[in-house]
């Protein structure tokens, strides 16, 4: 009998531990089992990516449709090349879509916002977004503002 209560107690401990791991994985770190691997890659070149990092979100009208998978410097164009993975179900981005680097909130992290164009052809695996707009760099902005003030 004593052994039985102990075994029940240990069983509950194990269950609680397993449950805690599941909660940590799914609820707290937001690990999703489904949308790993599915998606197509598109590329975009930016003059300046600001503080964009891999795993930053790619959004359309603020709704997440994918994530940034890699960032590298293109040695020929001397521009940052961003590789992003878009979910498969989002297959309606036209080839003349534009990509912008935006900031969520005043001090929030940066993400890529995509605005769709009017073209009938759609972006597919390995395509490139040509119309891009760089990150807003606060120092540049302040510099321009001061320059304008001085020249007035």
Partner 1 sequence: MLDWVQSLGRVGLARLAAFGRAGQLLVQALVARPDPVMMFPLLVKQLYFVGVLSLIIIVVSGGFIGMVLGLQGYTILVDYGSEQAVGQMVALSLVRELAPVVTALLFAGRAGSALTAEIGLMKATEQLASLEMIGVDPLRRVIAPRFWAGFISMPILTMIFSVVGIWGGAIVAVEWLGIFDGSFWANMQQAVDFRDDVLNGVIKSIVFGFVVTWIAVFEGYDCTPTSLGISQATTRTVVFSSLAVLGLDFILTALMFGEL
Size of the site for partner 1 (CB under 8 A): 28
CA 2 to chain centre: 54
Angle, alpha carbons 87-119-123 (nearest 5°): 25
In angstroms, what is the minimal distance from the CB of 27 to partner 1?
8
d(CA 63, CA 57): 9
Nearer to partner 1, 102 or 122 (CB): 102
- Only one of the segments 88-96, 103-111, 127-135, 139-147 lies at the binding site for partner 1 (rule: CB under 8 A); that segment is 103-111
Nearer to partner 1, 21 or 137 (CB): 21
Give the pairing of strands 40-46 and 79-86.
Answer: antiparallel
d(CA 70, CA 84): 7
Chosen residue from 1, 63, 107, 150 binding partner 1 by CB under 8 A: 107
d(CA 59, CA 108): 15
Give contact residues for partner 1 (rule: CB under 8 A): 3, 6-7, 9-10, 12-14, 16-17, 19-21, 23-25, 27-31, 55, 57, 105-109
């Amino acid at each position: 009998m004593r052994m039985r209560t102990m075994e029940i107690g240990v069983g509950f401990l194990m269950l609680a531990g397993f449950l805690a791991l599941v909660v940590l994985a799914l609820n707290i770190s937001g690990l999703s089992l489904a949308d790993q691997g599915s998606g197509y890659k598109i590329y975009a070149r930016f003059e300046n990516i600001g503080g964009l990092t891999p795993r930053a979100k790619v959004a359309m009208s603020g709704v997440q449709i994918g994530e940034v998978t890699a960032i590298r410097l293109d040695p020929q164009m001397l521009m940052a090349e961003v590789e992003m993975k878009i979910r498969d179900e989002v297959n309606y981005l036209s080839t003349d879509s534009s990509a912008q680097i935006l900031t969520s909130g005043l001090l929030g992290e940066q993400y890529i916002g995509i605005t769709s164009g009017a073209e009938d052809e759609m972006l597919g695996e390995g395509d490139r977004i040509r119309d891009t707009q760089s990150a807003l760099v606060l120092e540049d902005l302040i510099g321009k503002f001061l320059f304008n003030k001085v020249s007035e």
